[in-house]
Amino acid sequence: MDMSAQKKARWGVAASLLCAGWVSAGEKLSEPHLNVVPRATQEQVRIDAILQPPTDFSKPEVFEVLSAGAATVSRRMDGQVFSRHAENLPENQRLDFELGRAMFEKLWVASPSSTRASDGLGPFYHARSCGSCHVNDGRGFAGTDGLLIRVSVPDGDGGTMPHPTYGGQLQHKALSGMQAEFQLGIRYDEGSVALAGGESADLRVPSYDLDLRQGPLGDGAMISARVAPAMIGLGLLEAIPSETILALADPEDANNDGISGRANVVTSAEYGVPMLGRFGHKATLPTVSEQAAAAFSADLGLSTPLFPWHWGDCTEVQQDCRTAPHGGDPEREGLEVDSRAMGVVALYSRNLGVPARARVDDPEVLRGKELFHVSGCVGCHTPKHVTHRLDGGGTGSFQLIWPYTDLLLHDMGDGLADGRPDGLATGREWRTAPLWGLGLVAQAGGQQGYLHDGRARTVLEAVLWHGGEAGPAKEKVVAMPPEDRAALLAFLESL
């Protein structure tokens, strides 16, 4: 099946299930990626008690310093702060973890090549390695080389599908002898926001110039700029019970708090069943392994067991791309990235450790934490979860974690809207980003940059871009006395 048709089919199944009331708050979606040990009633009672919000903000909560439970790593002072394996990764998996790191950082080359284990790049591509987008396993940043431009068109049935010429994203790089799909230009217009206490902040509004090389996008085409998210804690997010996330969903705002989180239900390409979307800026991917395979295919143009076509994101119109030499190797299942390689990449991606909290008992940080709660930020950024207990254990098994996310979609208002639906996500909705590691972004990447397109240069700017469901919380931050706003930022940067 052509990739465009496959994506359209998956989106259509998920949409029909949700519209038919197939999933609702408190229900559970299939989790075939996990070997779950069901919770006993008494165990669930204990978990419910642990997950209650704090009432005393004069001291840290129990285990709050351990952002990832037993998987938490100590905070390093160098750029590799996000690049260590989870503290509880078994010894017998650490060699595969390092093999996964090597695959993650490998620079791929064009085919044919004497380095047969590293050829097959492209023909159109966004990057030559996973690590070139996820800087030191952290975030990517805004810029003509770092920004990725998604593209889609209406499918005629109320949904969207990849562009018939350009596919699911625009590629700004191509192999020698081929012309890249486009070149990107970025312009920022700045405006000032007045804050209480005589302070102000400057926000920059991006606009994009697409120098398209294979014809115009045409009427109805929708684009969305994205930067790569941080890689830490993915296996832990994957192990949060789906019923926990669905219990937080309130699509009709039944409790009248102004927060209407929705689950993005996706049909897994890996398992062929509806699953909870957890990964990606619009929660369109259900598992770490599927996320990795999708990136190999779309971003690097490499074939995997899950997406076995060698031409990556090239469409049927782009026959020169589809017929170009590839790196499929009979010794590697006829693929460019075989099952063994995908296995170690997935293990690596699942087990990058989350650094411990800083200044967890600092009075200013504790005051900021209280303001985070009373301002309503926790309506989307759910502080803590307890992961599934997994048969056979593993780093993500039965851990109290503090990612500060509900993994749900929320309307973030006009300012952040990209106007591009993605799966069940509307053009105004984004998945709540996890906040763990927020204060270490610059340490890992050498600069700051936040939100889906990296437009925010500071944590405060990111907060001030919040609108829609998050608008009332943002306005409370605007109205805070400077010392309270500083305390809130101190808390966020302690994560």
Count of alpha carbons within 13 angstroms of residue 146, beta-carbon side: 20
425 has pLDDT over 60: yes
Question: What pLDDT sits at residue 47?
Answer: 97
Q: What is the SS3 assignment for the chain?
A: CCHHHHHHHHHHHHHHHHHCCCCCCCCCCCCCCCCEECCCHHHHHHHHHHCCCCCCCCCCCCCCCCCCHHHCECCCCCCCCCCCECCCCCHHHHHHHHHHHHHHHCCCECCCCCCHHHECCCCEECCCCCCCCCHHHCCCCCCCCCCEEEEEEECCCCCEEEECCCECEECCEECCCCCCCEEEEEEEEEEEEEEHHHEEEEEEEEEEEEEECCCCCCCCCEEEEECCCCCCCHHHHHCCCHHHHHHHCCCCCCCCCCCCCECCEEECCCCCCEEECCECCCCCECCHHHHHHHHHHHHHCCCCCCCCCCCCCCCCCCHHHHCCCCCCEHHHCCECCCHHHHHHHHHHHHCECCECCCCCCCHHHHHHHHHHHHCCHHHCCCCCEECCEECCCCCCCCCEECCCCCCCEEECCCCCCCCCCECCECCCEEECCCCCCHHHHHHHHCCCCECCCCCECCHHHHHHCCCHHHHHHHHHHHHCCHHHHHHHHHHHHCC
Q: For the residues 327-354, what does the mean pLDDT come to?
A: 97
Q: What are the tens digits of pLDDT across the range 148-157?
A: 999 999 999 8
Q: For the residues 109-128, what does the mean pLDDT come to?
A: 92
Q: What are the tens digits of pLDDT across the range 180-208?
A: 999 999 999 999 999 999 999 999 999 99
27 has pLDDT over 70: no
d(CA 209, CA 186): 6
Question: What pLDDT sits at residue 24?
Answer: 56
Question: What pLDDT sits at residue 26?
Answer: 54
Question: What pLDDT sits at residue 104?
Answer: 98
Q: For the residues 327-338, what does the mean pLDDT come to?
A: 95
Q: For the residues 286-302, what does the mean pLDDT come to?
A: 98
% residues pLDDT > 90 (the chain): 92
Q: What are the tens digits of pLDDT across the range 58-72?
A: 999 999 999 999 999
Beta bridge partners, 287, equal none
Question: What pLDDT sits at residue 114?
Answer: 82
Average of per-residue pLDDT values in the chain: 94
Weakest-pLDDT range from 24-38, 85-99, 279-293, 467-481: 24-38
Question: What pLDDT sits at residue 20?
Answer: 34
Q: What are the tens digits of pLDDT across the range 214-241?
A: 999 999 999 999 999 999 999 999 999 9
